[in-house]
Structure 1
Amino acid sequence: MTGDQSRPGYEIEIEPEVRVWLQNCPVAEYRAAERAADRLAEDGEIYDREEQR
């Protein structure tokens, strides 16, 4: 985990239909989704709602 170690990370739940999409999408899309999820898990509290969509 990068960033401020005093802040706890967040856990992201993946809905079954999202899991199926991730299993079937191209690698580049999977990696982009993974990077976005990692950012939210690590720093979610600093983003406003618009960035979380």
Structure 2
Amino acid sequence: MLIEDRNENVAPAKKKSTGRIDGVAATINALARAIIHEDTTSVFEKRGPRTL
């Protein structure tokens, strides 16, 4: 179950849930961090090419 506040923020509703929401909340947080922290820097810009 999800709740929405007056600013249209959506969050899991713990009071309305019949089970634990820890896994759902962790998944939402992980996806949000992955989307926000999109690194577009090339690996070659960071360390340069490797040679053998």
Tell me which interval the TM-score lies in, with the shorter structure as reference length: 0.3 to 0.5
TM-score, normalisation: structure 1: 0.40
In proportion to residue count, which structure has more strand? 2
Mark the structure with the bigger radius of gyration. Answer: 2
TM-score, normalisation: structure 2: 0.41
